[in-house]
Copies of this chain bind each other. A is one copy, B any other.
Amino acid sequence: MSSASPPLYEKVKLHVLKRIRSGEWRPGARVHSEHELVRELNVSRMTANRAIRELVQSGVLSRVAGSGTFVADLKSAGHPLQIRNIAAEIRDRGHAHRAVVLAQARVPVPASIRERLQPRGRELFHSLVLHHENEVPLQLEDRYVDPALAPGYLGVDLGTVTAHEYLMEVAPLERVEHVVRAIVPPARVASLLKLAAGEAALLIERTTWSRGRRASFALLYHAGTRFELRGVFDL
């Protein structure tokens, strides 16, 4: 029937959002119930339900079954930030990405890695790759991989395929954890990233899981003055 360009549930969402954005409905205030929206906007309940459900999902509203729907209290809510694949990010900026492989070998498990990767064997695959944006070093990728989950890792041309990409091809990705910190980088890292004296680095530690086990642990060092994470929350 009424499949106009904007879907009906979008109209319902806007109907609610307008009142929140204008300040008419403040945080904690009760929002019209699904039944009321059905009557007000002449939509079916499933349509109103979808609209409200999506607003809940995006953090704008919160619901209490049996009680009602309320404008979410964003006071203590979190805001999303995106961590992206470095190669994709550089290319999206329209710049040239080049990866230089500094090391790619089988190594005994370093003590500092053992706890974070918890591998079964005594040896790991290790790789050290320097990613450039327009020939300027941007990220140093220090990665350890469990050989049991990616036996062919040493044969991969990491200058062409990023390790993250390869691992996702080989082992189904189940879980990714990121920890972001500001550090004063070790001398070797600073030198490779061509940092100015005393320049800080943004360190992202990425652990990935596959088939119920830890598959890889990576230390991603970024030049403090040349790299930033960006996130926007709208509404």
**Interchain CB contact under 8 A, B83 and A78:** yes
Size category, A interface: 35 or more
A84 in complex: contacting residue of B23, B78, B83, B177, CB < 8 Å: B78
Contact between chains at B224 and A182 (CB < 8 Å): yes
Which residues of A in the span 173-207 have a Cβ within 8 Å of any Cβ on B?
173-184, 198-203
A44-75 to B contact mask, C-beta < 8 Å, 1/0? 00100000000001000000000000000011
Q: Are B230 and A176 in contact (CB under 8 A)?
A: no
With contacts A200-B200, A200-B201, A202-B181 known, is A76 near B81, CB below 8 A? Answer: no
**A13 to chain B: closest CB distance in Å?**
14
Report the nearest B residue to A78, measured CB to CB: B82
Stretch of A34-42, A109-117, A131-139, A164-172 on the interface side: A164-172
Known A82-B79, A82-B81; judge A202-B176 contact (CB<8 A): no
Does B230 contact A177, Cβ atoms closer than 8 Å?
yes
A1 at the interface (CB under 8 A from B): no
Q: Are A174 and B21 in contact (CB under 8 A)?
A: yes
Partner of A175, one of B46, B75, B199, B233: B233
With A75-B85, A83-B78, A84-B76 as known contacts, state yes or no: A182 contacts B179, CB within 8 Å.
Answer: no
A22-B172, A168-B75, A229-B81 in contact; A198/B201 too (CB < 8 A)?
Answer: no
Establish whether residues A74 and B173, one from each chain, have CB atoms under 8 Å apart when the complex forms: yes
Q: A84 CA to B78 CA in the complex, in Å?
A: 4
- In whole angstroms, how far apart are the Cα atoms of A232 and B176 in the complex? 6
Which of B79, B169, B175, B199 is the one whose CB lies under 8 Å from A178?
Answer: B79
Instruction: Report if A80 contacts B (CB, 8 A).
Output: yes
A229 pairs with B74, CB closer than 8 A? no
- Rounded to whole angstroms, the CA-CA distance of A9 and B211 in the bound complex is 24
The 3 lowest CB-CB distance pairs between A and B, nearest first, are A76-B88, A182-B182, A78-B82
Chain A residues engaging chain B, CB cutoff 8 angstroms:
20-23, 26-27, 46, 57, 74-85, 87-88, 164-165, 168-169, 171-184, 198-203, 211, 222, 224, 227-235
- Taking A76-B84, A175-B235 as given, write out 8 further A-B residue pairs in contact, using a Cβ cutoff of 8 Å, ordered by the A residue number: A26-B172, A75-B85, A75-B165, A79-B83, A79-B84, A79-B176, A177-B232, A202-B202
